[in-house]
Amino acid sequence: MTTRQRRNSHYSKVLLPLGAIAVMAYFGYHSFNGDYGIWSRDRMRREAIGLEAELASLKAERLALLERAKLLRPESLDPDMIDERARRNLNVLKSDELVIDLAAARQARPQ
């Protein structure tokens, strides 16, 4: 029986280490730059902090709007307040009322 012998090639000695280095380089690169890499995780963490701050401000705004909506319920309405606001927004006066414009008075007064 004859055996075939191969000549030792320099390429075969280098091929396995180069392949291993290439695989490690690939995973090393993506551990920093990938979708879930270190830098992406830091970016997502910063974005989450900003979104949490925005959520807190929106919750506060929502509570303020709920408080204003409570004032509009029929059982809590003050007729004088409704009359005052309606006339202020519509610029309507009764015939016996007098309006004093404080902003115009401040501008006319010398300092």
pTM of the entire predicted model:
0.48
Name the residue type at position 77: L
Separation CA 84–CA 79 (nearest Å): 9
Name the residue type at position 56: A
Is the confidence at residue 110, as pLDDT, over 70?
A: no
Residue 39 contacts residue 32 (beta carbons within 8 Å): yes
Separation CA 103–CA 79 (nearest Å): 27
Per residue in 23-82, pLDDT tens? 999 999 999 888 888 999 999 999 999 999 999 999 999 999 998 888 777 777 777 878
Residue 38 contacts residue 32 (beta carbons within 8 Å): yes
What pLDDT was estimated at residue 19?
Answer: 93
